């Protein structure tokens, strides 16, 4: 089956032309017992600064999605996560002007430690429909999937 692709900001030129490598990214949807989920703002200095997203980051060489995400959540949020508690959920390819990324979205309900924003981000526990904006193009499908999962039938 052909992988679904989102094209973001199509009016902007693409870096590196058509044959650019795919950057693999682990992304966490952290749920509290009341069903709310965590959104964080992209830190100052990063592309799409200030946009709301789910926390996560790029896989390093040799890492699994679960290990990369556990590492990123510790680096960004200061929490301890057992890679075994990370549930792989969905994938989405996104074509951005700066990179072609494959997002590996994961669900997570268990972690240790208090949240501390180590990169100058803001955070919010949200529920549908989310109130914060703008949401990163590559995070928007998650909101749709959560909506689908919460509606009967
Ligand atoms: N963390 C995260 N990244 C996302 C989401 N949606 C989405 O398109 N992305 C994209 O995935 C890539 C993640 O890169 P990043 O910059 O957050 O990762 P990182 O912390 O490893 O980056 P660094 O190399 O600047 O340290 C970016 O191109 C970002 O635009 C999302 O919901 N969460």
Q: What is the pLDDT of residues 40-67, one digit of tens each?
A: 999 999 999 999 999 999 999 999 999 9
Q: Is 38 in the pocket of ligand 1 (CB under 6 A)?
A: no
| pTM as predicted | 0.94
Q: Where are the chain's structural domains?
A: 5-150
At 18 the pLDDT is 64
The rounded percent of the chain whose pLDDT value lies above 70 is 97
Task: Using most ligand atoms within 8 A of CB, pick from 6, 103, 105, 142 the residue to mutate for ligand 1.
Answer: 103
pLDDT tens-digit readout, 9-38: 999 988 776 678 999 999 999 999 999 999
pLDDT of residue 57: 97
Atom of ligand 1 nearest to the CA of 98: 28
Helices (H), the chain: 65-77, 140-150
Query: Using an 8 Å Cβ cutoff, are 104 and 27 in contact?
Result: yes
pLDDT band for position 153 (50/70/90)? low
**Residue 140 CB less than 6 A away from ligand 1:** no
Please tell me the CATH superfamily of domain 5-150, with its number: Nucleoside Triphosphate Pyrophosphohydrolase (3.90.79.10)
**Ligand 1 nearest-atom number relative to CA 53:** 32
ipTM > 0.85? yes
The secondary structure element, H or E, covering residue 37 is strand 37-41
């Amino acid at each position: 089956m052909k992988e679904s692709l989102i094209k973001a900001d199509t009016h902007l030129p693409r870096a590196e032309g058509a044959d650019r490598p795919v950057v693999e990214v682990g992304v966490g949807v952290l749920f509290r017992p009341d069903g709310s989920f965590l959104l964080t703002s992209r830190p100052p200095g990063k592309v799409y600064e200030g946009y709301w997203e789910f926390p996560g980051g790029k896989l390093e060489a040799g890492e699994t999605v679960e290990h990369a995400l556990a590492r990123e959540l510790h680096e960004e949020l200061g929490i301890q996560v057992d890679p075994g508690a990370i549930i792989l959920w969905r994938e989405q390819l996104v074509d951005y002007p700066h990179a072609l990324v494959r997002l590996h979205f994961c669900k997570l309900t268990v972690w240790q430690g208090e949240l501390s924003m180590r990169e100058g981000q803001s955070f919010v526990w949200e529920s549908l429909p989310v109130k914060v904006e703008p949401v990163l193009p590559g995070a928007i499908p998650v909101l749709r999937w959560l909506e689908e999962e919460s509606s009967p039938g």
